[in-house]
Structures are given as C-alpha cells and as structure tokens.
Structure 1
Amino acid sequence: MATQKLTKSYIHVPKKEPFIGLTVGQQLYKMAEKYPDKEMFVFYVDNERFTFKQMKAKSQTFAASLVSKGLKKGDTIAILGANHSEWIVALYASIQLGILLVPLRMEFPHSTIVAIMNKLQCKAIILTRSPDELLDRACEYFPEMKSSPAEQLKSDCCPHLQFLVLCSKSAKKLCSKTGVYSYDDFMTLGNETDFSKVEEICQSLDIDDPCCIYFTSGSTGMPKPAVHSHHSILNNAMTGAFFRMGVDNFNCNWESLRYMVGVTLSGIGTVWGTYLPIARGCTTIVLYPAFNAGIMAEALQNERVSIGTVLIHQAYDLLNLPNIDSYDFSNLKLMGMGGSIIPNELRQKMKKLVQYTTNCYGMTEILMTHMGDPVDPPDKLAGAATYTIDGLETKIVDDNGIIVPVETVGEILVRGYSAFKYYLADDLQTKEIKDINGWIHTGDLGVMDEAGYLTMKGRKKDIILKEGVNLIPVELEAVLHEHPKVLAAMVIGLPDERVGEEICACIRVDRDNSPTEEDIREFCRGKVYALLVPKYVIFFDEFPTTPNGKYSRIEATRIAKKAFNIIAY
C-alpha cells in the first residue's frame, strides 16, 4: 500500500528482491546443478515426469539437433499442438540458442498459420503428439511431406520452411523423406561438436536478447507476436504477482511449492508455470489446453498442488462439478483467477475449495502487472481491486495522456522491466502501444484510489456510446453476476440507428434453471444507470473464447447480431 495518500493516479512499487542477471538457459543450467533430482515438470495426463537434470539434458539434445540443421541465433521455428513435454523441451532448446519459438495455436485457420510462418520466416515447425487431427491438418498444409523428393523440404506455401518434426507415433510412415523427422529421430541428429556449440552459444547470450514470443489474445483483432527478453520473462516469473504476500504466509517454501498450469502453453497464462521452476526451484504440473474440470480437480488433489491459476470460465466449471466436494484440496493454498474481471460472488464461492483467492491482471506486452493480495482490506477484495507488483509503475491518464486525479476513470498505462521488446516484424504497431518513454498503453480502463489500488473498468474499446453517453459494460456485468441464476455475464454494444448503440447482455446459464429475458431486465432496474438496462438479452451454454481463453466480445457480438438480425448502420 502507498505510504502516503495519493492525489494523482500514479504509483511506483520498488522491487524488494534483486533481479536475476542470467538468461533463461543459463538459469536452467544453474538450477539443474542445484536441484538435479528434483521434479521440474509433471505432464499429468501423459504421466511424464522430468527432473531439472533430465530437462536440461533433453533440451540440450534437441538444441544440438537444431545446430546440426544449421539453425542459428535470430532464426525462428514454429510449434503447433497440445501441452506435451516436447513443447517445453523445444522451448528450452530454442532459448539456449537464441532461436525464437513461434507458438501457433490450434484455433488459427490455415491462412493465419501460413501468414504468420511467412511473415516471421519460420525455418521449421514442430507438431506435438496431439490432438489427433493435427497430423491430417499438417498433411493438408504441407503436402510436400508425402511427395517431395528433394534433399531439403521445399514448401510451396512456406518457402522458408526447411524441415518438420512430427511427434505423433502414427507419423512414422511420413518420416522417411528428408526434411521430415520423427521426434525420436530428430533427437539423434546432434554430434559431440553440436553439443559443445549449444553450451557455448547459451553462455554467450545476453539478458536483454530476445527470448520468446507470445501472441496477443486476438480479443480486439489479429493476434500479434510480442517478443520478450530473457530479463523480462525470468524476472516476472520470479516476482510473480501472487507473491506479494510471500509464500511464508502459506506455510510452505519455494522448493516445496507445486504450481499448476491449466491453459495452453502458447499464452502468457503459462509464463509463471513455464519459468517458475528455474526462477524459484519449484515444480510445475501441466494439464491439457482443452480444459476439463474433472481432470483439473483430479490433478489438484493427486499432485498436491499448492498454487494454481484458472480463467474465469474454468473457475465456474470447477465449482459446478457434481462431485466437487469429494476431492481433497487440503494442500491448495491459493488460486489466482484472471482472463476477465472477477465477480466478488465467484471469489466467495471459490473459498469452498481454497483458503485464498486472488485477482490477476496483466497483458501479453508486459506480462503480469497487478494482483490482489488475499489479505487486502475486505472492501478492496470485494471490489476486485489489484495492486502493482514489485518493480513496476502504473498511471491512469485521460485521452490527452495527462495523469488524472485519483478516483477518476482513465486508461491504464504500465512501465517496467517486464515490458516486451517489440512486435516481431511490425515496428508500426509496436510504436502504437509502447511509447517513447517506455509506457505500455494497455487499452484498459481503470480507477486508482488514494492507497494505490487499481480497479478495472473494462476495455477502452468496449465503451458503449448510447444517446451520446459513454457507458462502461463492467458496471452492468457486476450486477448481472449477482443474479442467482446467472453463471457468467458479458455486456456488449449492438449498433442502433436511433441511439448509436444498444445494450446487449450475454448471459451464460444452466438451461434447466434459466431466467427469462424480462427477469434479467427487471433485476437490473434500479441497480444500474437506466441507459444500461439491456434492450437485448441472449443466453449461452458456453461463451465464445479467444485462443488465450478470454471471452471473445468480437465473436459474441457477431452471434448476437445474427440472432437479433441487426445490421451495422
């Protein structure tokens, strides 16, 4: 908490611990020596376990094979598929060589995958062992896998592509062609000289060199590849937003902490899980990206998970498991929740599963930046307020970029060590979000109080303009979440010839216990500004989501327009 009452919406929180001054690869080597036989990663569904020593060896072997294929610092390779050990192995291998791993998503259409691979000049693509349809998709994308007789794979759609690595056991029949390797065969390509080069290159890299890519969620447009440095990634994992109160308050230590990743490895939601082991010496449990609440509950229990993070829809699904009370979550100390503004009612319900819950806020371009502390004052917890994590600055500005007084809505800007370097191959868009002073323009609206706490007010682009009045959707969403029959709510604006935009409430419900449209309107009357009472109400079994797992307002708007036969005016 700020030591003095703030009058302007600006705060800087000093860093309590020194930065890690090593690259990710160098830190991996250090931790493999310190904790050689300790579990680093557990891939729960595959029942695979890797110690620090084993992960170092595996990733070095993969890196040596990359060296044998002539790849070098600054090159890019892509990966596509579900959460398996080969994903982490390929990531840590590429990082040791200064090669950028491009994390493609299964939700991307063929045209987007080809466009990204060409724009970023990817020289290879790794296909993980699942999902099952992945190999068929790959054969469709790259028919040359079956027919090319050339010494090196030549792809018509991706001219920079030199080879593929297929991790599926059923792909063996395709791996006789030069340039198409099974995972096991690829791991044998490196020789003694290649292994020596891996360590030599790794030790030569600098903390400010490009380390990895994360794509923006695509919730407001085409996903963009944000490049982070070793310094930003490793130290954000070390600081970790939910570490504001420190693990000592959870009656555990870093080495015993077991952290669960329940989302796809391609998104920033896994930054902590991917790098926390080398930052802090703890263990990460990885689940599949195709979320299954039953598997998550089972993993939380069986792996004795200490800390987990869930997106808002995952939290609802976990709570609604029919047999949720039969699981033993006694080791679970804290659950961080993010992906949207977390209703207080949801936080209260989660307390039946876990002692502490906390709100997370961040974005791809600057990783995790704010967190609610479980021991914050009750009014801050009820309002989903968060606080800037160590080493970062936050300010709230008006449309002219001027810092606003406290308790005033404005755009959230954040600055600090965890900021991304740039969007790969896109200087123009980089300058649009990262200004000359290093501030990241989040596009989110928020309010800062005199103690420095930040309360989210939604996306700047989500503001609904009705009858000349700017309306903030989150204000109505907060009320809708109080309705006993509403599982989740999202508010959007639909075009209207007369008033500009009309309010549409998207409601996720249990079809067997669903309210009516008029029930929803009546519930809102008197609780929100009259202009916010929704004209339109549409019910969903599941909300559409972006590849990062966030609610997709773009897709929800498309569905609602079609349902109500609305055209843009």
Structure 2
Amino acid sequence: MVNFIRFYNRRNPKTVPEIAGVRNPVTDDGMCVIKCTEAVFKWRTMYAVFVPSDVDFYMNDISCLMKCIEEEKLTWYSGYPYEIIKMLDSPDLHRYDISSLRAVVVTGQSVSTNNLNRICDQFPDTMIAYGSTEVQGTMTSNLYSTLDQRRNSVGYPLPHMELKIVGKYGETLPVNQTGEVCVRGWASFLCYFNDPKTTAAVKGHSNWIHMGDVGVMDKTGHVQLLGRMAECVTFKHMGEKVFPQLILDTARSHPKVETAVVIGIPDDRLGDDVCLFVEKKHSTILTEEELECYFQSKLMFLQCPLYYTVLEKLPRVGARGKVHLAKLKEMATKRIATDNKEEQWNR
C-alpha cells in the first residue's frame, strides 16, 4: 500500500490544497483506504472527508452527495461513475453549488463515450482508473496522456509495472491487436488465501495476472478496453464475433436507458444467443419493441441483440451492489426456452 501511494503521488503531483471526498468505510473498503493513506503522505495540502453513509450503493436520492460537495467544498470525489451520471442528470443539480469539484474517479464499471465526455467536460481533472483488488486497485496512469488519450483509453502502465496483450494460447500480441490484458509487477497480489487452485488459474507459472478483460494496446502503450472475456459473444448469423461495448454504448445512448448489460447464452445449433438487459430511467416508459427498433436504426442486423429485456432495476448482489449476472443468465435461459417451446408449437 505504501509503494502504491508513492507512485500514486507521482502520477498526480498536485501541490494545491485538495479536499478529497471518499466513500464512508461502512459502504466501501478499497478507495477509502487508498485515499486515507494518500492523505497521510500529503498531510500539508490534502484533507480526506468521509461522505455520509446515506451515499450508499442503493441510493435513490443523489441530493445527499451534492449537498456534501457543496458544504465540504470537495475538490475530488472517489466514488463510482453511476453516481456522477445520476448527479449530472438530476433536475435538482442547479440547486447546489458543486463548482469546487474538479475531479472524480471513473472506475468499477464501463461508461459510454457520451457519458464519459460529459463527466470530463464537467470535471476536467477526472481520472480513469483501471485495475482490481489483485493489483492494489489501479495499475495505469494518464499523467502524460493527451486529452484524447485520457478519454479513449485507461492510460499506460504505472512505473515498474508490466502490461501485455495475449492471444488465445498466451502468446504476446503486437500493438493494435486484440486480446486479453495481463499484468505483473510490484502491485501484484501474492495469492488467494488458502486457494492455490484459483491462484494458479489467475497467475499461472509466470506471475502474469490474467485480468479477464479484452483490450488493445497502441504504440504509445495506452490500452483501450473492449469488454470482458466472459462477455465476448458470437452472433448467431455467419459466426460474427463482436465485443459487447458496441451494444452497451448503443443501449446507453437511448434517452430512456439508465444502464445496460449484455450476455450470451450458448446455443449448440446457431452459436450464442445475445441477450440485452436494460434498466430504464425512473418515471419513463420503455418497451422492448421500442428498444429493438432503436437498435435496428443504429446498427447492422448482425450487431443487434436477439433478445431485449427492459427492467425497472437490474438485479444486484453483494455490498458493492454489482449486477447479478447469474440471475440475468437464469432469466435469459428461461425466456429462450419459452420462445423455443412456442416456436415448436407453432410448427
């Protein structure tokens, strides 16, 4: 942790006074520790403020966060993107003075290009963090990146960290080729506690951590993420393979969509059935037919999902409120089975 904070300070060498808002330790265990440790290193210029526990993973009222920013004059907020998007969409935004906030952290979820641009335009020092618990939270930097690189990549590796893109058989791929992101270095975890089997699956014999993310690296070392390996789906027609980001960006560009998830259900006959789940915005009416027509107007047929499901709320699990993918797969499997029965009956 100490090494991480040293490099973190090198990446963000701010000397101006900073008031950093961090999630209450009741609702977050990662960024809270990192920011508090950073505040110790920057004790002359930085204060760490715990935001109220009302700002939790299931909050419906974003005003508690805006009120905290206004009262504490926060200059930095280490929360999650969905909070920032909800704040920018709030009809009450004009009631609060959040002008002191110049930076937020974009981490923990994928964000559409449109929303990322909105966040960066509002908060110019915004940082896109890429990493996981296994590598101390984040492992890339954008200190020397251009504005375009900051908005279209997760940056380049931190000092003394290695990052590579590998192919299907673990071979290192050249720049501009798509594969799985792997990292190793001082920030790497040693092992999963009492679980050597899982440790070996993630680290192998070379200590390269397989992140499970699909990405591509350019000649400057900047990495663009395209999706999760588990989310890579094959369309049923002509064996076309695409990554989910195109579908997610299209779904999130719909004015009535809050967020979206895409999954693939294996089909031995035709390939994976592509299923899109969206959480509609509060107080809006959105039908599956409307969503399907929207996709058909934006994408080619082979790029469109096969099934569309509109939900009031996506199912979530755990303290961090992550989307319950297993539940979504169960829902998709049941729907596909029902449709197949109806098709056989019609025949």
TM-score of the two chains, using structure 2 as the length reference: 0.83
Give 1:348's aligned residue: 117
1:439 correspondence with 2:208: yes
Do the aligned residues in 2 keep the contact of 1:343 with 1:384 (CA within 8 Å)?
no
531, 534, 542: which one aligns with 2:302: 531
| Deviation per residue, 1:344-374 (Å, 9 max, x gap) | 2112333575333232211111123345648
Do the aligned residues in 2 keep the contact of 1:372 with 1:381 (CA within 8 Å)?
no
CA shift in 2, pair 1:507/1:384, >3 Å: farther
Do the aligned residues in 1 keep the contact of 2:139 with 2:187 (CA within 8 Å)?
no
Gaps of 5+ in 1: 1-232
Matches of 1:402 and 1:262 in 2, distance apart? 42
Give 1:187's aligned residue: none
Do the aligned residues in 1 keep the contact of 2:262 with 2:274 (CA within 8 Å)?
yes
Do the aligned residues in 2 keep the contact of 1:340 with 1:550 (CA within 8 Å)?
no
488, 505, 521: which one aligns with 2:276: 505
424, 430, 448: which one aligns with 2:199: 430
| Deviation per residue, 1:447-481 (Å, 9 max, x gap) | 11111111111111221133444331122112222
Give 2:243's aligned residue: 472
Matches of 2:338 and 2:232 in 1, distance apart? 19
360, 363, 370: which one aligns with 2:132: 363
| Deviation per residue, 1:477-526 (Å, 9 max, x gap) | 12222223322222111344532321111112125434432333333337
| Partner-residue secondary structure (3-state), 1:369 | coil
Matches of 1:326 and 1:495 in 2, distance apart? 49
Give 1:305's aligned residue: 74
557, 560, 563: which one aligns with 2:329: 557
Matches of 2:26 and 2:224 in 1, distance apart? 27
Matches of 2:232 and 2:97 in 1, distance apart? 42
30, 39, 56: which one aligns with 1:277: 39
Amino acid at match of 1:284: A
176, 192, 206: which one aligns with 1:407: 176
- Give the superposed CA RMSD: 2.9
480, 487, 490: which one aligns with 2:261: 490
Amino acid at match of 2:326: I
Give 2:289's aligned residue: 518
Q: CA deviation at 1:261?
A: 2.2
Matches of 1:452 and 1:357 in 2, distance apart? 20
1:391 correspondence with 2:160: yes
20, 23, 31: which one aligns with 1:261: 23
Matches of 1:509 and 1:364 in 2, distance apart? 30
Give 1:451's aligned residue: 220
| Deviation per residue, 1:526-562 (Å, 9 max, x gap) | 7445323012111123323343344333333234444
| Partner-residue secondary structure (3-state), 2:219 | coil
Matches of 1:486 and 1:236 in 2, distance apart? 37
Amino acid at match of 1:237: I
Poorly superposed stretches of 4+, deviation over 6 Å: none
CA shift in 2, pair 1:529/1:263, >3 Å: farther
| Partner-residue secondary structure (3-state), 2:134 | coil
Give 1:208's aligned residue: none
Q: CA deviation at 1:336?
A: 0.9
Give 2:90's aligned residue: 321
| Deviation per residue, 1:28-79 (Å, 9 max, x gap) | xxxxxxxxxxxxxxxxxxxxxxxxxxxxxxxxxxxxxxxxxxxxxxxxxxxx
Query: Which has the higher mean CA deviation after the structures are superposed, 261-270 or 312-321?
Result: 261-270
Do the aligned residues in 2 keep the contact of 1:341 with 1:384 (CA within 8 Å)?
no
Give 1:240's aligned residue: 8
| Partner-residue secondary structure (3-state), 1:507 | strand
| Partner-residue secondary structure (3-state), 1:441 | strand
50, 53, 57: which one aligns with 1:286: 50
Q: CA deviation at 1:322?
A: 2.9
176, 182, 187: which one aligns with 1:418: 187
Matches of 2:79 and 2:49 in 1, distance apart? 13
CA shift in 2, pair 1:347/1:277, >3 Å: same
Matches of 2:333 and 2:25 in 1, distance apart? 30
CA shift in 2, pair 1:257/1:285, >3 Å: closer
CA shift in 2, pair 1:550/1:270, >3 Å: farther
TM-score of the two chains, using structure 1 as the length reference: 0.53
Higher relative contact order (CA 8 A, sep 6+): 1
Amino acid at match of 1:555: K
Do the aligned residues in 1 keep the contact of 2:142 with 2:154 (CA within 8 Å)?
no
Do the aligned residues in 2 keep the contact of 1:235 with 1:279 (CA within 8 Å)?
no
Do the aligned residues in 2 keep the contact of 1:264 with 1:270 (CA within 8 Å)?
no
Give 2:343's aligned residue: none
Gaps of 5+ in 2: 341-347
Matches of 1:566 and 1:375 in 2, distance apart? 53
Amino acid at match of 2:247: L
CA shift in 2, pair 1:313/1:263, >3 Å: farther
Do the aligned residues in 2 keep the contact of 1:525 with 1:533 (CA within 8 Å)?
yes
Q: CA deviation at 1:382?
A: 4.2
Q: Would you say how many aligned residue pairs link Structure 1 and Structure 2?
A: 330
Higher gyration radius (CA): 1
CA shift in 2, pair 1:493/1:297, >3 Å: same
